[in-house]
Chain A
Amino acid sequence: MKVNDWCMYCGECAGVCPRNLIEVKETSIIFSKEECKDCRLCMQVCPIGALEPEE
């Protein structure tokens, strides 16, 4: 998952990740990519479309 730089660190993606893989700091966001199953639920709920699948 790629985080675009208009992310506002609201944490909504973290709340729905079924694997609890997203850590949102005050102004940065970290994914544990190895365990990501690419279910894209995080992408679906982001209010501003800041997440994109990695190429």
Chain B
Amino acid sequence: MIKTDVLVIGAGPAGSTAAKHAALGGADVILVDKKSEIGAPKRCAEGVSMGGLESLGIKPNPQWITRKIEGVRLVSPNGTSVWLTSDTVELPEAGYILERKVFDKHMAMDAARAGSRIMIKTLARSLQQEDDGYIVNLETMGEEFQIKANIIIAADGPESRVARWAGLNTATKPKDMESAAQFEMVGVEMEDNHCIEFYFGGVAPGGYAWIFPKGDDIANVGLGVLSTKTSKSAYEHLLEFVEDCPATKNAQPVELNIGGDPVGGMPKKLVTDGLMVVGDAAGQVNPLTGGGIISGMTGGMLAGKVAAKAIEDDDTSKERLREYEKLCHESIGKEISKYLKVKDYMLSLSDEELDSIAEAFKDVEFEKISTTELVKKLVKVSPRALLKLGKLF
């Protein structure tokens, strides 16, 4: 049987970051993923903020960045556009569009360079608790084997099952699982292909539609819906959207991506004896935007560091690992709770209300663009927003 200090299950951005930091902290680390190619197929629109990467100490690399973003276009149901571009406003949270298939692999390579052992095409199937950790049953190329680990980091994404095997209640409720479908398309005719676009209202009940440019006439065109708010599938909504949207009606898909985004916030408990849960598996996603790369990597970094220290102290009890839970709730958790309230408010708006907010926004002068700045302005232009969100921002 293979033995290790830390076993990370799932080599998405959160898992690779956890593995990297646990290894940098001196622990023996194994990182497993069921996929034969880490990062593929992507389940993502590939947008990240520059500040987010910086906070994780990751230098932007032209190998995995396809486009630098210079603005945002918000489109209301009747087509009213609000443009926020770098000619007119400061962009402290400007971003990049990644090539996730390359980015995820690079993050796993960083984990390997830090000393982690990577096992691809390796599926975790179940686990049993032992006095000083877990025995995990895995499968690779038809063969079953076991790994004994003192600490498990469950980084198995939105399909999260691992933490539940250890008794943590991390299942996502359908009302909190955004169902998403996206085409990567060619022949997209955007008004400005350096800006990301968001479309609100009935096009995507419970969520929104997006167009994220990847350079030239290529873009990720997708949407997320809450299945509790529509009887159609995300894919059916996507087909309607690309047919109706002026930018995409002549475009052709070269890739279909589907997946879930847990937008209900973090569960209270993120640890149990010898186990921590990170990333989408821990609901570490901004519930308003659905963005989970940076927050999941932040969770991964915190878990990796705490894991290494716990191994060094020879104490992997849940009391010891609670340091991770506390750090997460203090950092990522506060933001998530705030944006959950904004999401609830946004969901309560009708298409007409969204149109009138867009109309009012057209004349608003912005100094900076960030999700927080947008919400602050929203509070100023909408009396209902002031009542519901005034105290938050």
Interface residues of A (CB under 8 A from B): 8, 10-12, 14-18, 20, 23-26, 41, 44-49
Contact = CB atoms under 8 A, between A and B. Distances in A.
Q: Is the interface of B mostly helix, strand, loop or mixed?
A: mixed
Contact of B233 (A16, A24, A46): A46
Contacts of A25: 34, 123
Contacts of B234: 47-48
Interface of B: 34-36, 41, 43, 121, 123, 125, 157-161, 164-165, 171-174, 177, 179-181, 227-228, 233-236, 256, 258-260, 262
A26 B181 CA distance: 19
Contacts of B260: 10-12, 15-16, 45, 47
11 contacts: A8-B256, A15-B160, A15-B161, A18-B171, A23-B161, A24-B159, A25-B34, A26-B123, A46-B179, A48-B235, A48-B258
- The list of the 7 closest CB pairs from A to B, nearest first, reads A11-B159, A12-B260, A47-B234, A14-B159, A47-B258, A47-B179, A10-B259
A48 B121 contact: no
B233 A48 contact: yes
Contact of A49 (B35, B228, B233): B233
Contacts of B179: 12, 45-47
A16 B161 CA distance: 10
Interface centre among B157, B174, B235 (most CB of A within 10 A): B174
A24 B35 CA distance: 11
Nearest to B238: A47
Given A15-B172, A16-B171, A45-B179, 8 more contacts: A10-B43, A10-B159, A15-B260, A16-B172, A16-B174, A44-B174, A47-B234, A47-B259
Contacts, number: 83
Contacts of B256: 8
A15 B159 contact: yes
A31 B269 CA distance: 27
Contacts of A17: 171
Contact of B161 (A12, A20, A41, A44): A20
Contacts of B262: 15
Nearest to B41: A8
A43 to B, nearest CB: 9
A26 B34 contact: yes
B177 A26 contact: no
Given A11-B158, A14-B159, A26-B36, A49 B174 contact: no
A44 B173 CA distance: 11
A14 B262 CA distance: 12
Given A20-B171, A26-B35, A12 B177 contact: yes
Contacts of B258: 8, 10, 12, 47-48
A14 B161 CA distance: 7
A11 B156 CA distance: 10
Nearest to A19: B171
Nearest to A30: B125
A10 B256 CA distance: 12
